[in-house]
A and B are shown apart, each in its own frame.
Chain A
């Protein structure tokens, strides 16, 4: 008797844990393949993809569960990056870069020399604070208003970084940011945040938030405080995006505020993560991962083609082709699958795959609960 029940329980838990485990395996396999065969070029693409993935996961935690779009997560990435950079640049290098930093800051910023792990926690912690600062207005807004409020936040963050030259050196890059991010560390953090995003989605907080996404009034009527749930997701996603920012800072080493703002070289941190999430399917962690992989692969393919035609040094196509191809791909994918590649569902248990295939294709409204999702 109990043996049967145990087996049932094990089966249940395996089913529940199947999507994140399968996705984790995907990440690790990708990492192993790139690390073994990729060389430095593709390793750089790999690191960039994992950092992007973390930002996409942060967006998924907030936008995916609440249905509220955010343009503002690049601000958290920037805040994490800058805060960590300030606390890790060697003291000697700080002296000549921040001549006008006010004393109340320089007194503790100058001597600080954080280790990589401390830097991530500090940077992500600071991004969390910034998120908490904006949580109240963002949590109260819905629809277009929320999108515009996050856009306003993005502008505010950017203006602050560009204009407060005594602390951020404005549009100049910071000198002496230590290169501590490795391909392994981004993998580890991506795995951690994959777990965080999935656990949050399945937790009571995530469930309440998803309920509010489907129907705000119904959710309120059963006692869900929508504001509070949104604020929780917003702050958590601020942490994740901030950590991604720290890893970004210590990988690229030279960065300026423009890297965390809308720019048009096709690989910015504002629009691209949103596009990845929407293309993968907003509602699921699987969608975040699939969208990130899909966009990265398409972009890398065309980018390599554009740069060296994969092999030689001859440019075969004009520069800008990669961006154009990426844009065309977006449009085609969205026309064919308006709800994203995964349709907002998690990866189904292998035995259920044929059930999914038999299901009639529903072009239903977003209000419908995806059938394949686990609880």
Chain B
């Protein structure tokens, strides 16, 4: 067994937070679309893939141009996806939307393999100034980790402001609560749903950027692994609530990382098995998610901090 010293512990904590941040962003996006139109978007992983490839092809343009291009193209793709595949199916059942999103994911991935994925394995050279680690009181950190924390924090904060303080946010919240009612009082459905897809596109671009800066390897199926974990995390936290989903994704990411680092070697290979068995247990004990359910301590605590929470329990 491993004896965790303080600095060891801090190292784990910083790595885990870094790891969990990705999933928080992805879960948040999934939750937004699920709330607005009941869509579990499996094609989201392909947005990340697209972002990574845009980075690969624009890597010579300087980092600022590359980031801007990635955000523009991924957001455009997200909007296009909505326009072609999901707009005609707006009133369909969730399962039909789910299968459609699978079809979109398959199609985009096939397209990825046929066009950009052919030839040699592509990779993205990490910037040395971004990944060199420096020592902070015994904990190794890189600029990339700090940037990931800051960007994730800013994006989450931005989402909270957007959702709570802007007209669009009010419309989004109303639509997640009761889509038909929102339409009756003048919310334009096309606009709100497009906006939701646009926002998730920006978030996907951010995930793609942070993820590719870190791993470097690019393939048409890179989006799938993180997506699966973020999905599960989102549901644990409660897909019906944006904060809940983000927290759920974050927590699952952290837990997976901690389990991987601390379980004894003999059962370490099976760590995902235990994590997902735990997922089933949580689902049974808290079917609406850890956060979204009324009356849990987390919710009471959050309610205590703010009298009018934005994350009212939503229909799941």
Residue in B92, B94, B228, B287 whose beta carbon sits within 8 Å of that of A141 in the complex: B287
Residue in A141, A264, A338, A363 whose beta carbon sits within 8 Å of that of B106 in the complex: A264
Which residues from chain A contact B92 at a C-beta distance below 8 Å?
A: 334, 338
**Binary flags per residue of B92-122, CB closer than 8 Å to A gives 1, else 0:** 1111101110111011011101100000000
Q: Find out whether the CB atom of B100 lies under 8 angstroms from the CB atom of A330.
A: yes
Q: Find out whether the CB atom of B273 lies under 8 angstroms from the CB atom of A159.
A: yes
Q: Find out whether the CB atom of A153 lies under 8 angstroms from the CB atom of B280.
A: yes
- Interface positions, chain A 326-343, Cβ under 8 Å from B, are 326-328, 330-331, 334-335, 338-339
Q: Is B210 an interface residue (CB 8 A)?
A: no
Given known A143-B316, A144-B235, A363-B91, contact A152–B96 (CB-CB < 8 A): no
Q: Is B3 an interface residue (CB 8 A)?
A: no
Q: Is B279 an interface residue (CB 8 A)?
A: yes
Q: Is the interface of B mostly helix, strand, loop or mixed?
A: helix
| A residues contacting the other copy or chain, number (CB 8 A) | 48
* Closest CB in chain B relative to A194 CB, distance in Å: 23
Closest Cβ neighbor of B100 among chain A residues:
A334
Q: Is B272 an interface residue (CB 8 A)?
A: yes
Task: Select the stretch in A1-9, A195-203, A241-249, A314-322 that faces chain B.
Answer: A314-322
Q: Find out whether the CB atom of A327 lies under 8 angstroms from the CB atom of B104.
A: yes
Q: Is A160 an interface residue (CB 8 A)?
A: yes
Which residues from chain B contact A323 at a C-beta distance below 8 Å?
A: 106-107, 109-110
Q: Is A38 an interface residue (CB 8 A)?
A: no
Which residues from chain B contact A163 at a C-beta distance below 8 Å?
A: 269-270, 273
CA A151 to CA B102, docked complex, whole Å: 14
CA A145 to CA B235, docked complex, whole Å: 7
Q: Is B146 an interface residue (CB 8 A)?
A: no
Q: Find out whether the CB atom of B106 lies under 8 angstroms from the CB atom of A278.
A: no
Q: Is B77 an interface residue (CB 8 A)?
A: no
Q: Is A17 an interface residue (CB 8 A)?
A: no
Given known A144-B40, A327-B107, contact A318–B284 (CB-CB < 8 A): no
Given known A159-B273, A330-B99, contact A266–B114 (CB-CB < 8 A): no
Q: Find out whether the CB atom of B107 lies under 8 angstroms from the CB atom of A148.
A: no
Q: Is A212 an interface residue (CB 8 A)?
A: no
Q: Is B260 an interface residue (CB 8 A)?
A: no
CA A318 to CA B113, docked complex, whole Å: 10
For chain B, give the interface size range.
Answer: 35 or more
Q: Find out whether the CB atom of B114 lies under 8 angstroms from the CB atom of A137.
A: no
Closest Cβ neighbor of A262 among chain B residues:
B224
Which among A148, A262, A334 has the greatest number of chain B C-beta atoms within 10 A?
A148
Contact sample, A vs B, 23 pairs, CB 8 Å cutoff: A137-B283, A140-B287, A144-B94, A144-B239, A151-B231, A152-B232, A163-B269, A164-B270, A264-B109, A264-B221, A274-B99, A274-B102, A278-B96, A282-B95, A320-B114, A324-B114, A327-B104, A327-B110, A330-B106, A331-B85, A331-B107, A334-B99, A338-B89
8 more CB-based (< 8 A) A-B contacts, given A140-B284, A159-B273:
A141-B284, A156-B277, A262-B224, A264-B109, A271-B106, A275-B103, A334-B100, A366-B93
Residues on B close to A: CB < 8 A? Answer: 34, 40, 84-85, 88-89, 91-96, 98-100, 102-104, 106-107, 109-111, 113-114, 220-221, 224, 228, 231-232, 235, 239, 269-270, 272-273, 276-277, 279-281, 283-284, 287, 316
Residues on A close to B: CB < 8 A? Answer: 69, 134, 136-137, 140-145, 147-149, 151-153, 155-156, 159-160, 163-164, 262, 264, 266, 271, 274-275, 278-279, 282, 318-321, 323-324, 326-328, 330-331, 334-335, 338-339, 363, 366
